[in-house]
Homo-oligomer: A and B are copies of this chain.
Amino acid sequence: MLSERRLQVLRAIVQDYVGTEEPVGSKALTERHNLGVSPATVRNDMAALEDEGFIAQPHTSAGRIPTDKGYRLFVDKLAGVKPMTAPERRAIQNFLEGAVDLDDVVARTVRLLAQLTRQVAVVQYPSLTRSTVRHVELLALAPARLMLVLITDTGRVEQRMVDCPAPFGEASLADLRARLNSRVAGRRFSDVPGLVEDLPDAFEAEDRGTVSTVLSTLLETLVEENEERLMIGGTANLTRFGHDFPLVIRPVLEALEEQVVLLKLLGEAKDPGVTVRIGHENAHEGLNSTSVVSVGYGSGGEAVAKLGVVGPTRMDYPGTMGAVRAVARYVGQILAES
Contact = CB atoms under 8 A, between A and B. Distances in A.
Contacts of A139: 135, 137, 151
Interface string A234-261: 1110110000011001100110110000
Contacts of A234: 257
A239 B235 contact: no
A62 interface: no
Nearest to A111: B257
Chain A interface size range: 20 to 34
B233 A239 contact: no
A157 B101 CA distance: 14
Contacts of A141: 134-135
A71 to B, nearest CB: 24
B157 A135 contact: no
A253 B238 contact: yes
Nearest to A286: B236
A250 B257 contact: no
A166 B232 CA distance: 40
Given A134-B141, A135-B147, A137-B149, A257 B233 contact: yes
A8 interface: no
Given A234-B257, A235-B256, A245-B245, 11 more contacts: A134-B141, A135-B147, A137-B139, A137-B149, A147-B151, A149-B157, A235-B257, A236-B254, A236-B257, A239-B246, A239-B253
Interface of A: 101, 134-135, 137, 139, 141, 147, 149, 151, 157, 159-160, 233-236, 238-239, 245-246, 249-250, 253-254, 256-257
30 contacts: A101-B159, A101-B160, A134-B141, A135-B141, A135-B147, A137-B137, A137-B139, A137-B149, A139-B151, A147-B151, A149-B149, A149-B157, A151-B159, A157-B159, A233-B257, A234-B257, A235-B235, A235-B253, A235-B256, A235-B257, A236-B250, A236-B253, A236-B254, A236-B257, A239-B246, A239-B249, A239-B250, A239-B253, A245-B245, A245-B246
